[in-house]
Structure 1
Amino acid sequence: MLFILCAVFLPNLHHAFARLENENLTQKLNQLLMEEPDLKGAIAGVSIRSAIKGEFLYDHLGDIRLRPASNMKLLTAAAALSVLGQDYRFITEVLTDGLVKKKTLEGNLYLKGKGDPTLLIADFENMALEIKKLGIKKINGNLIGDDKWYDDVRYSTDLSWSDEQAYYGAQVSALTASPTTDFDSGSVLVEIDPGTGKGDRADVKVTPDTDFVKIINRTETVPEDGKKEIVIERQHAKNTIIIKGTIPLKSKIEKEWIGVWEPTRYAMALFKQALTDHGIQITGKTKTGTTPDEAISLHTRQSIPLSELLVPFMKLSNNGHAETLVKEMGKVVKGEGSWEKGLAVLETELAKFGVDTDTLLLRDGSGISQANLIPANQISQLLFAVQNQTWFPTLLKSLPYAGEQDKMLGGTLRNRLKEPIFKGKVKAKTGTITSVSSLSGYVQTKSGQTLIFSIMLNNLLDDSFGKRIENKIITILVNQ
């Protein structure tokens, strides 16, 4: 009799408790969204699902299209893993249309890029070394950069002119270079250190060390109690970087990543420099062009696999990686490395995960556009569906982890949700553009549930408002 009673009543009790928990969650979130003063005049789209069954636990304007900011990268990353595969690598080739005679290459040397955003100065040096190993000491021809793997459109449709010099707005090319292992392709790192004495110019260092960019130093070192006011500007359509302002003695180094004008020529400048440093003379010009079909391959360089690239891409929210992946998907699937073809492939892949693509407006792969529009419910649907994919652990690992100080773990969440209750519990993609803040991912609750959430806050008067509100929502979820 006792067994029969338990069988009858316990499932009902379980459902009753679950219903009470959901009602409690709904009440707390509704109260927060209704009473939060910084949401007055703004729009909040919030979607919360069970990670196991995918059913909605909370939905506030979840079907309203909102600007996702860098939450757009969740869509791009999932589609890239689906289309390209987590073992996919980008290729860069060194080829020639000539022959080697008495240590002289009689012909042109081609550097053919196929989208690799991870090329460092060390890689160009290694390419030069491989040429030297072939016994070549002189190139009696031109040095030609081939970036025809993608189209020649360098900026996504809605990129603001004010973002042109920023690393997050750097031009996209099939042949490019990065200054550090963060792989901010198409940019240089500028470091500004105070001079040795009052009135001195600041010391300026550029990585990689190249004369492709010209530095105009108009800085002044001021006393320790002086004001730090450094302004860095790259002139439009040029690679002249003007640095002006004041920097106090003994102050920390000021760092800024600056996007270059024409990344193909930037990569070629580094390659030429490497060849020269290895004692290889070039008689011709350095220019761009197309590699002939009959050209012979001298060296091939492979990038790290996509599974590894996804870490700096997602953790650090790298816009250049997102746009490169969009173009690469277009090239691989439709034979054209363009935003138009890549975004078409992206939409096709999203539909496979149950995302209603008729509700989306997609303009780029990074989310920098103010015209991208996605409902929160569609992001949470994607995050639910991808859990069944073999590459899901790779995607999950690439998300920023709340409270982890290592930037390749915590990423853009390393300085948020730092209390012990959040550590290891929140893995999510952040997003910020003017008036927009977003956060979507996975959270483990106090009761042991895993929830999927998407929070998109639009029309904010201050971006910091959004982060504070998102943190409050996550706190409610963790404590469930």
Structure 2
Amino acid sequence: MILISCPATKSFAGGFDETFQKDIQKYIQEEPILKGALTGISIRSARNGEVLFEYNGDVRMRPASNLKLLTTAVSLSIFGEDYRFKTEVRIKGEKSGTFLDGNLYLKGYGDPTLLKENLSQLAKDVRKSGITNIEGDLIADDSWFDDIRLSKDLVWSDESAYYGAQISALTVSPDDDYDTGTVLVTISSGNRVGEPAKIQVSNKTKNLKIINQVVTVSPDSEKELFIGREHGTNTIIIKGLLPLGVTAEKEWVAIWEPTQYVLELFREELVKQGINISGTSKIGKVPKDSNILTNHFSAPLSEILLPFLKLSNNGHGEMLVKQLGRVKKGEGSWEKGIEVMYEQLPKLGVDVKSLMIRDGSGISHVNLIPANELSSLLFHIQQEKWFPVFLESLPVAGYKEKMIGGTLRDRMGTLNIKAKTGTLTTVSSLCGYLKTEQGETVIFSILLNNLLDEEKGKQIEDEIVEIVSQHVNGSR
């Protein structure tokens, strides 16, 4: 049963005219791409929260990455915009001159933005402390989170994709896009037809292997590339054909066991600093009576939210949920983090009885939320002191700078919009704020499910928002 509601009264100057309901209903019913699909729309006044229009507004639908709006709001309300994540280096044993007769520990606390250069600085700090010989082991401690690496609904075919990376309290990113738990693979053509392609990998360790089966072909040939990772290993297989002289291809590949990978990187950085480690490298726990040697702190949450929302970074969403569980419930798990979300969301205007939350990123096809609840969240959080940070983190339509426009940098450039995109197989979504020519703001939530081509859903969203814009600005 399709539910349509459009109040006859106008909530603000230049608001909806009498033809709006007929225009948008006609569009939804006649658009071929939406035939057989499920559409949920909620449009709300940002000034007083009045629902100006809804279409299946209370029907639970898959939100895709629009779920990140909930994760962000709860994280800001619990942690605050100045919250920072830490990574520690600790020692246990006797320090005598340049010798440490004991173990060196690297402990993670869920930093989703840790880089190799941060590990390098920690290694330099160890060297500056005077230690050049460790007569013990190097131990990585990721026990701040549980050892469940993948969310329960992640499909097996996504496990090597950057958006399906394993989650650990101790993990590293290849660059400042902060796709944590991945490596960046760059593939360039050879110098001549028939030669193998050239492969470069960021942060390569001795246990990360590349099988290069890419052949350089003539410039007029079609490009065919497959990039994957063998299950249970860090062996990356690259197959296919790459035309001579084409622009290099880049792909982020999720690694297997991120804690072990960080451990390998950190040992290499220690060796670069002239530090000899006589023992083994392994995963374990920091003793309570250990001593801190040095640490690294992340940027504040207000800055971390930029890659999270603008670039729709799945790994950050899952790490934030586990952080919520650890800080509030003493357990860094999806289960406890989601409990915190259910407890906090009613304070932010969301009826949690209408939701199904399974992760922090929206990658699960089991997540469900009505469009009206998303628009309600976006209305109520305007009163929170951290709202300016939230708003600044949303992609800006048509703005080409990646860390401003984000996933909207090539869309709706003529409109004043800040909104979160979402994409899953058969799902597309868009929720955010539209500022009118009169200076007022309209909140919108558009959820499209059961699409045969989710990419075409982006066009549908843009056209729906355009219809809304034309009516609220009085051009029809």
TM-score in terms of structure 1 length: 0.95
Contact 2:14 2:438 in 1 (8 A): no
Tell me if 1:311 matches 2:306: yes
Q: Matches of residues 65-464 of structure 1 in structure 2 within 5 Å?
A: 65-418=60-413, 421-422=414-415, 425-464=416-455
Q: 5+ residue gaps in structure 1? A: 1-13
Identity %: 53
Runs of 4+ in 1 over 3 A off after TM superposition: 14-20
Specify which of 462, 468, 476 is matched with residue 471 of structure 1: 462
Contact 2:399 2:405 in 1 (8 A): yes
CA distance in 2, matches of 1:465, 1:27: 23
TM-superposed CA distance for 1:15, in Å, is: 5.8
Q: Alignment partner of 1:226: what SS?
A: coil
Contact 1:95 1:109 in 2 (8 A): yes
Other-structure match for 1:9? none
Deviations along 1:414-437, one digit per CA (max 9) or x if unpaired, are 11123xx22xx1100000000000
CA distance in 2, matches of 1:266, 1:41: 45
Q: Alignment partner of 2:18: what SS?
A: helix
Contact 1:445 1:477 in 2 (8 A): no
Amino acid paired to 2:422:
G
Q: Alignment partner of 2:16: what SS?
A: helix
TM-superposed CA distance for 1:18, in Å, is: 6.2
Amino acid paired to 1:103:
T
Contact 2:211 2:237 in 1 (8 A): yes
TM-superposed CA distance for 1:448, in Å, is: 3.0
TM-superposed CA distance for 1:20, in Å, is: 7.8
More divergent stretch after superposition (226-235 vs 84-93): 226-235
CA distance in 2, matches of 1:304, 1:471: 34
More divergent stretch after superposition (440-449 vs 275-284): 440-449
Tell me if 1:34 matches 2:25: no
TM-superposed CA distance for 1:293, in Å, is: 0.1
TM-superposed CA distance for 1:28, in Å, is: 1.9
Q: Alignment partner of 1:23: what SS?
A: coil
Deviations along 1:445-480, one digit per CA (max 9) or x if unpaired, are 234321000000000010122111100011112222
Deviations along 1:160-217, one digit per CA (max 9) or x if unpaired, are 0010000100000000000000111100000001111111111100012333310011
Contact 2:11 2:45 in 1 (8 A): no
More helix by share: 1
Contact 1:47 1:56 in 2 (8 A): yes
CA distance in 1, matches of 2:15, 2:207: 64
CA distance in 1, matches of 2:237, 2:107: 32
TM-score in terms of structure 2 length: 0.95
TM-superposed CA distance for 1:246, in Å, is: 1.0
Q: Alignment partner of 1:98: what SS?
A: strand
Contact 2:10 2:16 in 1 (8 A): no
C-alpha spacing 1:20/1:416, structure 2 compared with 1 (3 Å): closer
Other-structure match for 1:11? none
Amino acid paired to 1:307:
S
CA distance in 2, matches of 1:245, 1:57: 52
TM-superposed CA distance for 1:150, in Å, is: 0.5
Amino acid paired to 2:155:
S
Amino acid paired to 1:348:
E
More divergent stretch after superposition (307-316 vs 205-214): 205-214
Contact 1:192 1:255 in 2 (8 A): yes
Amino acid paired to 2:170:
L
Deviations along 1:359-414, one digit per CA (max 9) or x if unpaired, are 00110010000000000000000000000011001000000000011110110111
Deviations along 1:237-268, one digit per CA (max 9) or x if unpaired, are 11000111111111000100000000000111
